[in-house]
Amino acid sequence: MTVLAVAEHRRGELRDVSHELVTAGRELADATDGDLHVAVVSGSVEEYADRLDRDGVDVIHTVAHGEEFNHDVYTQAVTQLAEEIDPTVLLMPQSVNGLDYAPAVANRVGLPLITDAVDLAYDDGLTATRELYGSKVETTIDSHADSTAVTIRPAEWPAAEGSGDATVEPFEATIDESAIRSTVTGFQEVGGGDVDISEADVLVSIGRGIEEEENLDLIRDLADTLDATLSASRPIVDNGWLPKNRQVGQSGKVVTPDVYIAIGISGAVQHVAGMKGADTIVAINDDPNAPIFDIADYGIVDDLFDVVPALIEGFES
């Protein structure tokens, strides 16, 4: 079979999910000794193609049209490519932009669409695993179609590594300009600033458990002691106690530090989506049932107001 995976980029950068799509696509292709094709649409497609040429990629299709994501361009280009290649599985990212074109492509090509897959298997047919009811249960979905469209959840597959020897083939998509009925006029950073928490090696992250704004000083002291960067979960930012650029999570930043210390954070799925890629996760929370302990490597079930001062002291000595 053939798998076609569509890369994602934004404002000149390939997004991490692109290399995860390569891994997921390679795994599926391997199940049937098949080929993995990757598509990249708009922007500096040749440069992107270079960086997408990881181990296991057979062909990279480039569609040079425009700079930034436009769903009308993506929908047309990916539809035409899928019709030409006829992939058994069409993989796209479960991202905000993925959700803006994948359903339209699936509709036009006539493929069933399974979104937000966290696992995929191929054995006489595609089986996808998804989560329901806020991750409380998992479900498996079988596709009985010859060809299926899937969006994969970011950070569920490891990034593909190594260098490949893919053939790069420019694809001449016929883009009907009159069908482009939406125009991206710009971007707006919500809560920019001087700090990029996604670059930090060590993050001290605070959640609702801090209770009061003035208690944040305790966490700042800890961050200083550990030479770490301060971050937070959504409620802290919603309250205006820290700026938006400190927010970890789906609508904030996705971080992958060496060490992530979650303090007073329960670990809702939207938060976890932003930090589960950390190498080592430490949780301090007085609720032993908090979901953060499901993904933590190390934990302390105790009052943060007792533990954090002791940690500052313990680390200094």
Residues 90-119 that bind other proteins (CB under 8 A): 94-97, 99-104, 106-108, 112-116
Beta bridge partners of 4: 37, 90
Residue 225 near other proteins by CB under 8 A: yes
- Exactly one of 123, 144, 217, 240 binds other proteins (CB under 8 A); which one? 144
Residue 251 near other proteins by CB under 8 A: yes
Closest approach, Cβ 219 to other proteins, in A, equals: 14
20-28, 35-43, 56-64, 89-97 -> range binding other proteins (CB under 8 A): 89-97
In the block, which residue shows the tokens 């960086």? Answer: 51
Residue 75 near other proteins by CB under 8 A: yes
Looking at residues 9 to 28 of the shown chain, list those that interact with other proteins (rule: CB under 8 A). 10-11
Closest approach, Cβ 24 to other proteins, in A, equals: 18
Closest approach, Cβ 247 to other proteins, in A, equals: 7
Looking at residues 281 to 300 of the shown chain, list those that interact with other proteins (rule: CB under 8 A). 282-283, 293-300
Handedness of CA 178, 182, 8, 143 (dihedral sign): negative
Q: In whole angstroms, what is the distance from residue 183 CA to residue 163 CA? A: 36
Task: Identify whether the C-beta of residue 279 lies closer than 8 Å to the C-beta of residue 264.
Answer: no
Number of shown-chain residues binding other proteins (CB under 8 A): 92
Residue 3 near other proteins by CB under 8 A: no
Closest approach, Cβ 172 to other proteins, in A, equals: 23
- Exactly one of 1, 159, 195, 202 binds other proteins (CB under 8 A); which one? 202
- Exactly one of 67, 139, 176, 211 binds other proteins (CB under 8 A); which one? 139
Q: In whole angstroms, what is the distance from residue 262 CA to residue 212 CA? A: 17
Task: Identify whether the C-beta of residue 311 lies closer than 8 Å to the C-beta of residue 300.
Answer: no
Closest approach, Cβ 291 to other proteins, in A, equals: 9
- Exactly one of 12, 158, 170, 191 binds other proteins (CB under 8 A); which one? 191
Strands (E) located in 199-285: 202-206, 229-232, 259-263, 280-285
Handedness of CA 59, 64, 69, 75 (dihedral sign): negative
Residue 298 CB: number of other CB atoms within 10 A? 12
Phi-psi region of 42 (alpha: psi -120 to 50; beta: other; left: phi over 0): left
